[in-house]
Structure 1
Amino acid sequence: MSKDAKNVPALRFRGYSDAWEKRKLGETNSYFTDGNYGESYPKESELSDKENGVPFLRGSNLRNGELIEDNANYITKEKHAELTSGHLVEDDIVLAVRGSLGALGYVKDENIDWNINSQLAVIRTDKSELSGKFLVQFLLSWRGQKELLSRNTGTALKQLPIKQLKDVPVPIVNLDEQKEIGALFSSIDNLIAATQRRIDALEQAKKALLQRLFDQSWRFKGYSDPWEKRKWSQLVGISKNMVDPTTGKYDSLIHIGPGNIRSNSRELVDLKTVKDENLISGKFHFDKGDIIYGKINPQLAKYTIAPAEGLSSADTYVLKPKSGIERLFLYYTLGTNRFFKYTVSVSQRTGMPKINRDELNAYSLIIAPSLFEQKRIGLFLRKTDDLIAATQSRLSSLELLKKSLLQDLFI
C-alpha cells in the first residue's frame, strides 16, 4: 500500500488534490473468475443462432474497452445456464488472459448476461471502493497495460493467471473522483463508438453504391444507353517502365508497396522515400494519379491512386487509363464484386496467389459508353470516400485524445 506525493496524476478535476493510494488488485474487495475452462469453442450441438442464443465471447470480441458482438459464437440458453462461470453482468471488466493479453472490455448494459470462453476472465469490483468504469480505464492506460503485460507467464502462448492478475497495483481514489473520471471516459468512448458505427455505415453504403451503379440498376438522370463490354487491354495500360532505384535519381520520391495500401481503401500508410527504404531491386515508375494495384493476393483488394510521383514494388501493377475510360471510373471498377471475383478465381494456383498481366488483359470491362456518365459515377463515389476518410480522421483524433487523457489522468 502506498500513498504519497508521487501518486498524484498530472491532470485533476477541480476540487481534488489528495494523493492517490496504490493497492494490489487482489487486496481490494473484487471478485475474479476465469472463463469456462476448455470451452474455447462450443460443440456443434451447443451452438445457436443470434436471435435465440447467448453470445459466447473470445479475445477477438474485446476492442478498446468495448465488447464487440460481431463474429461472436452463440450458444443455446440451456448451455449458458449450465455453465457455472463466465456469466457477465453490468460493470464487469472482461480481459484476455490467454493470447491477446491487454485486450479489455467493459459491460455497460444491465440487461446483458453473456458468457465468455477460456481465453478470458472477469473482474467484478466492489463498488464501495472501486468502480469498474474507473478501473477499466486505468487498465487501458499505458501504465495499466504495462502492469498486465509484465505478468505474462507463457512462452509460445501468452498467459496471465488470476494469481498474477491479483498482484497488479491499481489506484484507489475518492469515489466521487472515480465517478468524474469514469463519466468523462464514458462520454469519449460513446463518441468513439458512434464514430466507428458511422464509418461502418458509410462503408456499407459505399458497397451498395458500387453494386447499384455498376450493375446499372441505378443510373444518373439523362443516361439510358446500354453499357458496353470491352477488353481490359483496349482500355487500360499496364506499365512496363521498371527502373533502377539505386541510381540516386529517384531518392526523394515516395515508394509504394502492397504493405502500404490498406485493403479496400485508397488510404496509404507508413510511406517512405526511395532513399529511406534503401531499395536495391527494380521498381516501377509511376506518375501522380496513376493507379497502383497489388497483384499478389488479389483477395486482399489492395489498390490506390498515387498521390505523387514515385516508384512502386514489383509486386504491384501501375495502371494507366487509355482513351475511352475515365481514371476514377477505372479505379472504382477495381472495387466491384465482378472484378474481385475474377481476380481471385484466376489467381488460385499453387504457391502465392497472384494475377498476371495476361489474366488482367483478358478481363472484360463493362463500361458506360458516355465519358460524362463515367465521370459522374467516379466523382460521386469519391465524395463517399472523402466522407469516410474525414470520419476516419475524426475517429483517430478521438482516439488520440483518449490516449492523452489516459496518460495524464492516471498515476
Structure 2
Amino acid sequence: MSDSKKNAPKRRFEEFSNANAWEQRELGEVVQITMGQSPNGTNYTENPNDYILVQGNADMKNGQVVPRIWTKQITKTAAIGDIILSVRAPVGDVGKTNYNVVLGRGVAGIKGDEFIYQVLFKMRLENYWAKYSTGSTFESINSNDLKEAKMFVPKELEKKEIGIFFKQLDNTIALHQRKLEKIKALKTAYLSEMFPAEGESKPKRRFAGFTDDWEQRKLGDLMNITSVKRIHKSDWTDKGVRFLRARDIVSASKGKNPSEYLYISKKLYDEHSKISGKVGVGDLLVTGVGSIGIPMLIKHEEPLYFKDGNIIWFQNKKNIDGGFFYYSFISYSIQKFIRDSAGIGTVGTYTIDSGGKTPIYLPNKKEQQKIGTFFQQLDDTIALHQRKLQKLQNIKKAYLNEMFI
C-alpha cells in the first residue's frame, strides 16, 4: 500500500480524494501550548470583572468554559477562542473558551484551529491520554507528553474544510442540546407550580375547571408499603424474570440502560411471589439506598422482581392515578421529605417506615389523570430530543473515525 493511501482517512471531500497523504506531526509542533498555574487562593474573588479562573473539567460543559470562579492574580492565560484541555483527572476533557481566562493547574491552553480541536475531541473519545497519564493519587498529563502527542495533519486547505464541516455539525448538536435543556427546565418549573407548595392546599397552576383544595394524606394510609422475599446473588440467571436493583432504577430515571441485565428463574419467581405478591401496573418501586427516593412506575404486566431492602414497593393498586403518583414523587415536597427523613449518617436511607409516613397531596381522580398525562407527554418530548441528540452525537463519532487518521 502506498503512503498516499496508508496515511489518508477513509472519507475525504471529493476535491481532496487524490491529494497528498497526511503528515504525522507532534502537537507541540503545530500549536502553542500553555500549561496552567493556579493563582494563590487568597486572590479568588466574586467579582466577574476580574479574570475567570479555569481549574479543570469541572469548569467545562458541552465543550464550553462555564464561568465559576474569578481571580485578581493573572498567572498563565488563554484568550477567547482558545482550546482548553484538562490535564488532571479525568484527563483529556476538551472545550473552548468564550472568555479571556486564567489557566489553573488542572488545564492547558492551546492556540489551535477547529481541526486541532476535533483531533483533541477524538483523542478524548478514544481515551488516548490514558497511556500517558501519571500520578499515584490522580491521573495527570505532563508538559512533554502533551507536546509529543502524535497526530496526522493534512494540507492547510483540507484542514480548513474539515474544520468548517465539524463546526457546523457541532453547532447543530449545540442547538439540540439547548432545546433539550430548555424543555427540562420547563418540566422543573411545571413540577414546582402544578403541585402544592409546602403548607399550601392548592398548586399555583391548574387546568381549567379545577378549583377544589387538594387533600393531604400519608401514603401508609392509602396503600400497603413493603418489600419482597430475599434473592441471593447465586440465584441470578442470564434469562427468565427481570430482577431489578436500585442502580437499575437510577439508570432508568436518566434514560440509560443498566450496565448489565439480571434475571431470576420463572420457577423461583413463582415460588417467591406466592409469599410476597406480584408487582402490578400503577405500583411504584422507589430506591431506598444510595441515590434514595428515585421512583419507577410499573406500566406493564410483565413479571418483575427486585432486590429486597434496597427498593421499597408501594402497592398502589390504582388507588392513585399511576402517572400522577410518579410525578408527585419527584415533586419538591416529597423529595424534601425524603431528604429530611434520610438521617445524617454517611449513607442516607429511605425505609418502609418512612415510606408510610410520606405525605402526598391529592386532587380528584380526573385532575390526577390530566396532570399525569401532561407530564408524561412532556417526558415523551424530552425523550424524543434526547434520541435526536444522541443520533447526532453518534453521527459525529462516525465522521471522526472516517475523516481523521
Q: Same fold (TM over 0.5)?
A: yes
Q: Deviations over 1:360-395 (max 9, x none)?
A: 212222110x10001001100111111111111111
| Distance change in 2, residues 1:75/1:184 (3 Å) | same
Counterpart in the other structure of 1:407:
401
Counterpart in the other structure of 1:306:
298
Contact 1:3–1:22 (Cα < 8 Å) also in 2: no
Which of 190, 193, 200 aligns to 1:209? It is: 190
Task: Tell me if 1:98 matches 2:100.
Answer: no
Distance across 2 between alignment mates of 1:275 and 1:11: 47
Contact 1:263–1:301 (Cα < 8 Å) also in 2: no
Counterpart in the other structure of 1:62:
60
Counterpart in the other structure of 1:26:
28
Counterpart residue type for residue 5 of structure 2: A
Distance across 1 between alignment mates of 2:117 and 2:287: 40
Task: Tell me if 1:387 matches 2:381.
Answer: yes
Counterpart residue type for residue 288 of structure 2: K
Counterpart in the other structure of 2:353:
358
Which of 151, 155, 173 aligns to 1:192? It is: 173
Q: Per-residue deviation at 1:301?
A: 4.1
TM-score by length of 1: 0.84
Counterpart in the other structure of 1:235:
222
| Distance change in 2, residues 1:15/1:45 (3 Å) | closer
| Distance change in 2, residues 1:339/1:93 (3 Å) | same
Counterpart residue type for residue 359 of structure 1: S
Q: Deviations over 1:233-268 (max 9, x none)?
A: 122332444364777999422222221233793635
Cα RMSD (Å) of the superposition?
Answer: 2.9
Which of 262, 267, 272 aligns to 2:261? It is: 272
Distance across 2 between alignment mates of 1:248 and 1:144: 33
Distance across 1 between alignment mates of 2:192 and 2:371: 12
Task: Tell me if 1:221 matches 2:208.
Answer: yes
Distance across 1 between alignment mates of 2:125 and 2:195: 49
| Distance change in 2, residues 1:62/1:252 (3 Å) | same
**SS at 1:292's partner residue?**
strand
**SS at 2:194's partner residue?**
helix
Contact 1:235–1:322 (Cα < 8 Å) also in 2: no
Q: Per-residue deviation at 1:159?
A: 1.5
The residue correspondences of 1:153-172 to structure 2 (distance < 5 A) are: 153-172=134-153
**SS at 2:312's partner residue?**
strand
Q: Deviations over 1:208-227 (max 9, x none)?
A: 11111112111111111111
Q: Per-residue deviation at 1:86?
A: 2.3
**SS at 1:242's partner residue?**
coil
- Structure 2 unaligned regions, length at least 5: 197-202
**SS at 2:211's partner residue?**
coil
**SS at 2:34's partner residue?**
strand
Distance across 2 between alignment mates of 1:365 and 1:143: 46
Contact 2:334–2:359 (Cα < 8 Å) also in 1: no
Q: Per-residue deviation at 1:98?
A: 1.6
Task: Tell me if 1:257 matches 2:245.
Answer: yes
Distance across 2 between alignment mates of 1:233 and 1:87: 58
Distance across 1 between alignment mates of 2:206 and 2:227: 36
The residue correspondences of 1:97-136 to structure 2 (distance < 5 A) are: 97-107=87-97, 109=98, 112-125=99-112, 132-136=113-117
Sequence identity (%): 24
Q: Deviations over 1:301-325 (max 9, x none)?
A: 4222235431122201122324642
Q: Per-residue deviation at 1:287?
A: 3.7
Counterpart in the other structure of 2:199:
none
**SS at 2:141's partner residue?**
coil
Counterpart in the other structure of 2:288:
295
Q: Deviations over 1:134-162 (max 9, x none)?
A: 01111222588454332223232212111
Contact 1:199–1:388 (Cα < 8 Å) also in 2: yes
Between stretches 223-232 and 307-316, larger displacement belongs to 307-316
Contact 1:236–1:320 (Cα < 8 Å) also in 2: yes
**SS at 1:261's partner residue?**
helix
